[in-house]
Structure 1
């Protein structure tokens, strides 16, 4: 999180909602639907479906809740604004990015009764898609395991599991639910069997702090065919930081909540998820596919920044719009179009929220870096 202000924003979901509430700024109350809850840039990217087709969708649903869609819009806008600052882009570009984001979002909402209007994919997103389409198992293995050999090497990222954990992970792999999940991929035989080759605790950034996270190397055994290896992610589901407008209508089980959010917001991912329990804790399970990538916006020029903002706004807008009737979409569009100042095409509630939250994140980021610097010491 100390690496950049943008990384700090990505790792600060809970504080984001605290600051948003403390600001006292009133957001429009949109229709209750499944929202990402942590809708920053890196949580959107290419995601493969069970047939190998790829689309850019929300790719992390840990914070998914039935909530106010305005929260996703603000979270994405703040993420884009900090990415722009990291690229040394002037403030006027950030203003335009917020305008483009809301334009792309509204375009998805206003397509018609059954058609969602799609923004043309910018060149920078085409590059990401081409890279995703070319990826194979060997690329995933080299990134995640430092090689294609059937073992997950211990080190900074992968730690040994206890005997009790290993027994439960073996049982999970042997379950019918896991077999159906892995063989759901179109190129695999429905009758294939699974074998757990290796299992490690996975140290994976902020998403593994204080919770269970495992990487499973699984062999797919099909009679008469060559064995295939796959990598399965097992992650504990914890209570969402994002506020819900209908908590009673969500699954009480956090893993089921995550899976349900994925089904509605990211169908490619939702159809590839399973829930279970490890060590008495609820977990969600998915096979990692080589084509699943995050979008990295470390360096943007002015044109790219505005194109990406418009496109990602449209991606999120389509995820929301798929859940709404035409009547609800029209009502939400009307609400979004209110309070537009003459000096900026974005709603005033969105622009003021971005200004206040970017300022709060900048101050907190510098304080975080000061504490981090003292923690590691001058010789580290």
Structure 2
């Protein structure tokens, strides 16, 4: 047996994945309070559900991201390669209260700042900047020229890497350069025969024309799509344990002579933890819900996605473009933290504002500012909510760490 085949044989099979993925998720969430926040959307919504009615603003019914933490924002490319910082993960998207995205982002920023050992004075300034950046998106009295935020270093670095990221670098990170195959190991695990058959069937099914159109921008009633390789993808935090696959495709015989293979992400769509507005018209199929949320919030991403079924499971299929990155924000500087709060709040605000007419934007802007004592400070409800959320999540995080430490096998 070769060293490579022995390594593959040592990787977990489909029946062994779940406990390993659960343990990995718990380990990731134990790394820092910020990591815990990223993986605990359900805890965030439990706190919101506990708040008395009327204590927090009730925004207009629009599509929201539902899980707007820092890791779910970053550079996103459209089908032609244009890049912008957008909401990049829509698993939790629903028609709901836009306030939820603002609070989720504020909690994530504040815990990232604490994980970076930044003082409370900076967090106070971040929350003020968060309010100002978000409100800018709804203020029609300000020109587009003034609705600009200074891009923080975390965004500059990510954008620079996205714009200059080459396929050669993408290959080193994701696929074997010597042949069109996915290297099995820590990130990619082997498939079962049934999974491999199901993935091949997906690209030969009635969804194939829609997949082809999303990948190429061209309509073809009889598309030619060849599955070169596929693997189970160990990726994410809150989604660990769901079905997730990386697939290499040769489309219309363009690989390898006309370029590298298409790298496609197949991700199971599960029910959202984010509460939806009563009476809202939302697709019952979770993959279609995610797709609809992307089309409203991040059209650059939505145009590249399709909803499909894989062996009876609802999934979202999209090409992974080399420009798609997440923001790395484990170490924020004092200056960058405040800039990041303002800039990212404006990004989220614009995603909400484009769904509202003039009167709705004005009414929501007025509602956001209720109780504000000074024009440049955050309203009291926003400060109080983020501080309370930080306290709740810190307690839960320490409890998670204690349980994780006790459950780890002794060395």
Alignment equivalent of 2:406, drawn from 369, 374, 377: 374
Cα 1:339–1:115, aligned 2, differ >3 Å: closer, same or farther?
A: same
Post-superposition CA distance 1:84-137 (Å, at most 9, x none): 101111111101101101101111111359959332423442222111100122
**Which whole-Å CA distance do the structure 2 matches of 1:206 and 1:318 have between them?**
27
User: CA-atom RMSD, angstroms?
Assistant: 2.4
Indicate the residue corresponding to 1:198 in structure 2.
Answer: 229
**Which whole-Å CA distance do the structure 2 matches of 1:22 and 1:226 have between them?**
56
Q: Helix, strand or coil for the counterpart of 1:34?
A: strand
Q: How does 1:1-380 map to 2 (within 5 A)?
A: 1-24=29-52, 26-112=55-141, 117-145=147-175, 147=177, 149-174=179-204, 175-184=208-217, 193-222=224-253, 226=258, 228-246=260-278, 248-341=280-373, 345-379=377-411
Q: TM-score, normalised by structure 1?
A: 0.93
Superposition deviation, residue 58 in structure 1: 0.2
**Which whole-Å CA distance do the structure 2 matches of 1:82 and 1:358 have between them?**
7
Which residues of structure 1 form unaligned runs of 5+?
Answer: none
Q: TM-score, normalised by structure 2?
A: 0.86
Q: Helix, strand or coil for the counterpart of 2:225?
A: strand
Q: Which moved more, 1:214-223 or 1:56-65?
A: 214-223
**Which whole-Å CA distance do the structure 1 matches of 2:254 and 2:333 have between them?**
52
Native 8 Å contact 1:41 1:79 kept in 2 = yes
Q: Helix, strand or coil for the counterpart of 1:66?
A: strand
Cα 1:243–1:227, aligned 2, differ >3 Å: closer, same or farther?
A: same
Cα 1:363–1:44, aligned 2, differ >3 Å: closer, same or farther?
A: same
**Which whole-Å CA distance do the structure 1 matches of 2:144 and 2:202 have between them?**
40
Q: Helix, strand or coil for the counterpart of 1:351?
A: helix
Native 8 Å contact 2:150 2:339 kept in 1 = no
**Which whole-Å CA distance do the structure 2 matches of 1:363 and 1:234 have between them?**
35
Runs of 4+ aligned residues of structure 1 deviating over 6 Å after TM superposition are 188-192
Which residues of structure 2 form unaligned runs of 5+?
Answer: 1-28
Native 8 Å contact 2:154 2:327 kept in 1 = no
Post-superposition CA distance 1:40-83 (Å, at most 9, x none): 11111000000110011000000000000000010000000001
Cα 1:164–1:124, aligned 2, differ >3 Å: closer, same or farther?
A: closer
Q: Helix, strand or coil for the counterpart of 1:63?
A: coil
Native 8 Å contact 1:168 1:278 kept in 2 = yes
Q: Helix, strand or coil for the counterpart of 1:205?
A: coil
